[in-house]
Amino acid sequence: TCAIEPHATVSDTCASYATLDALNDEVRPILTSITQDTDFFSYYRLNLFNKICPFWQDETSLCGNIACAVNTIDSQEDLPPIWRIEELGKLEGPHAGHPGRRQQQERPKQKPLQGGLGEDVGESCVVEYDDECDERDYCVPEDEGAAAKGDYVSLVDNPERFTGYAGLGAHQVWDAIYRENCFVKPSSSPSSQLAPLQGLQVQAANNFRSVLHKELPQLDDECLEKRVFHRIISGMHASISTHLCWEYLNQTTDEWGPNVQCYKDRLHKHPERISNLYFNYALVARAVAKLQKHLQHYNFCSFDPDQDLETKNKVLALTEQLHNRPQIFDEAVMFQDEHSIELKEDFRNRFRNVSRLMDCVGCDKCRLWGKLQVNGYGTALKVLFEYDETKNGENPLLRRTELVALVNTLARISKSIAAVRRFREAVQAGNDQI
């Protein structure tokens, strides 16, 4: 209901749906151009294949409960080949290559990248500090523990869309992510590191069904921080659902396109999910706006000065558009009470666990976008709670992967909001097609 009424306010933010829709209409073109047309923002470097799920093992699970018996392959075989994760979820394009090589091969008209982006030369200036972990991070840095620097993946060649990844494997990941919302009481231990493997398996077995269906626990008596944590996760989930409904594969025609029924089932019937999507938009947009000053001195270093300047101008235009308007999200109201230090530590640890859980996602493309978006939200939280807009040089480092993830995450939510509007109009007009 409230999600369908454009003048309703998105609780916990300072904005209404109509305000956020209007803002989105304004910034969407520049956001699309940044994420689709610039090398800096259209390649993401991450460790997609080398990490193992630290919480459970798919095939050799010690847990006897059906909930732990993740076997997506069996059910996959019942599907026509085109629907199988291996086909739909696989990565396209030269994902292991670096931008320079791709440019030389596929974009001959543009100046090739030169200098430090080659395998033998090491990373360029923008990523040289990627391995450092800062205690103020809300995410596990993508390069954590890996000798290799990870693969470059083209985000343009690998759009987030329907992959067929579903069933117990996907549910187990979502379930574990939502379970991170069980905050400790401030008086007890602030440490919330999940016990890897066995501990979580047992928990997963016991809680699997009950937690999944208890979508939004009683929020009235919850602190703001806990509610915000839940809203971020649910909003991210809603965005992923929107993308897969918007670019769905019609099995009969083999065509990709919006699936209104998918939207009805996953979003329209659950207005709080749409509300959480808008909430995330306000939160991430505020984080990007807050970087306005910081990014004025940021080095968009891809060794093509013309493109670097173009990229920088686009990014500054975006931050200016977001900054020069009434504030849509007020982070200053969070972590204010006497337990705020413990609570913040707990919040950060839980978000890091969500980040690690992404290595348990059993579909390459879903893992790519899952990792990117968790990093994007983690970066947004870091900027909101650890950055002082008025300072220069004293704020935590902003890694290239963090900035790329942040801006692409905003672009994801932006696309979801635009898609939800189209879906909503179709439902209101009684159309089951767009």
Nearer to ligand FAD, 267 or 289 (CB): 267
163 is in an annotated binding site: yes
In angstroms, the CA 96 to CA 146 distance is 16
DSSP string, 34-90: HHHH-HHHHEEEE--SS---SS--SSS----STTT---HHHHHTTS-GGGSHHHHSS
Per CB under 6 A, the list member of 237, 264, 339, 424 interacting with ligand FAD is: 237
Concerning whether 363 is annotated as a catalytic residue, the answer is: yes
Binding map of ligand FAD across residues 124-163, x = CB under 6 A, - = no contact:
------------------------------------x-xx
Q: What values do phi and psi take at 336, rounded to 5?
A: -105, -20
User: Which of these segments, 40-48, 150-158, 233-241, 328-336, binds ligand FAD (CB under 6 A)?
Assistant: 233-241
Rounded to the nearest whole angstrom, what is the least distance from the CB of residue 144 to ligand FAD in the complex?
18
161 is in an annotated binding site: yes
Nearest to 143 by CA among 155, 132, 154, 152: 132
Per CB under 6 A, the list member of 8, 30, 202, 212 interacting with ligand FAD is: 212
226 touches ligand FAD by CB under 6 A: no
In angstroms, the CA 58 to CA 361 distance is 10
Per CB under 6 A, the list member of 23, 117, 283, 366 interacting with ligand FAD is: 366
246 is in an annotated binding site: no
322 touches ligand FAD by CB under 6 A: no
Nearer to ligand FAD, 113 or 170 (CB): 170
234 is in an annotated binding site: yes
The active-site residue out of 53, 63, 360, 363 is 363
In angstroms, the CA 215 to CA 315 distance is 37
The SS3 of residue 22 is helix
Q: How many residues make contact with ligand FAD (CB under 6 A)?
A: 24
Nearest to 364 by CA among 46, 149, 67, 138: 46
The token duo for 385 is: 């709670």
Question: Does residue 184 contact residue 229 with C-beta atoms inside 8 Å?
Answer: no
76 touches ligand FAD by CB under 6 A: no
Question: Does residue 138 contact residue 192 with C-beta atoms inside 8 Å?
Answer: no
Nearer to ligand FAD, 241 or 292 (CB): 241
Nearest to 93 by CA among 146, 43, 38: 43
The SS3 of residue 9 is strand
Binding-site positions for FAD: 161, 163, 174, 234, 237, 266
Binding residues (CB under 6 A) for ligand FAD: these are 160, 162-163, 165-166, 170-171, 173-174, 212-213, 215, 234, 237-238, 240-241, 244, 273, 361, 365-366, 369-370
Residues designated catalytic: 363, 366
Binding-site positions: 161, 163, 174, 234, 237, 266
